[in-house]
Amino acid sequence: MIIILIGPQGSGKGTQARLLAEKFNLFYFEMGSFLRELAKKNPLVDKIINKKGELLPDDMFFFAMKELLGKNISENRGVILDGFPRTLRQYDLLKNWFSEEKIKMDIVIFLDISKGETIRRLSARRVCEKCGKNYNLITNPPLEDLCKCKGKLIQRDDDKPAQIEKRLQIFSQNTKPLLDLFNKEGVLYKVDGERPIDEIQRDLVRIVEG
């Protein structure tokens, strides 16, 4: 089973993808954390995605992630892709690879939230600079000003309003055209992402089981 979960930043797709991965024993591929790990090892990647707030070139990203994804698919595990593909070019690369490997894409789920809700959620996000744990001052606040590991909580540059606006523009330009394509292919399901987590998860489970 191959599931793609798409949504604007702050839509909660990471939380929902992890819950689905646990329930259906799927390999969970999260584009954001994968890119952050690449950025730690590669100064060019760090400059592109963190300093400039731009997307990594599609071919560069796909080459980096294909080995990891292919290994898990070859072990006959289902896969859930969180936030990938984001562009038509990425989808072409993925689709061609799937075709070569005779892999079928089953479901694409779009978690829909408004621009205002995205900014509200992401502006409240904090991350521990010591262990990397994520908090949200609205939905998942820390018990004190520090992380449980006593690390300092910081706001990432890409979670500040100006960068959020830029990322949303990129999402609208590059990712939304994919929705029309997935809809034509008959694999797209649109879900309201501004509801409680458990309500959304119930809908997603029904979609997958159906």
Q: What is the pLDDT of residues 82-118, one digit of tens each?
A: 878 888 888 999 999 888 888 888 899 999 999 888 8
Query: How high is the pLDDT of residue 74?
Result: 66
Residue 145 belongs to some domain of the structure: no
Note the pTM of the prediction, 2 decimals.
0.77
DSSP annotation of 48 reads: I
Residue 27 belongs to some domain of the structure: yes
State the Cα angle at 181 between 179 and 187, rounded to 5°.
80
Contact 147, 174 (CB under 8 A): no
Report CA 195 to chain centroid distance, whole Å.
18
Structural domains counted in the chain: 1
Query: How high is the pLDDT of residue 207?
Result: 96
Name the residue with tokens 């290994």: 71
Nearest to 14 by CA among 26, 2, 32: 32
Whether the per-residue pLDDT at 149 is higher than 80: the answer is yes
Residue 18 belongs to some domain of the structure: yes
- Distance (Å, whole) CA 178 – CA 188: 10
Highest mean pLDDT among 109-118, 139-148, 161-170: 109-118
Sign of the CA dihedral 25, 107, 10, 157?
A: positive
Segment 117-135 shows an average pLDDT of 89
- Distance (Å, whole) CA 79 – CA 73: 7
Residue 132 belongs to some domain of the structure: no
Segment 144-159 shows an average pLDDT of 89
- State the CATH number of the domain containing residue 82: 3.40.50.300
Domain holding 186, by residue range, is 2-121+160-209
pLDDT, the chain, mean: 87
Segment 18-45 shows an average pLDDT of 86
Residue 92 belongs to some domain of the structure: yes
Residue 60 belongs to some domain of the structure: yes
- Distance (Å, whole) CA 16 – CA 208: 12
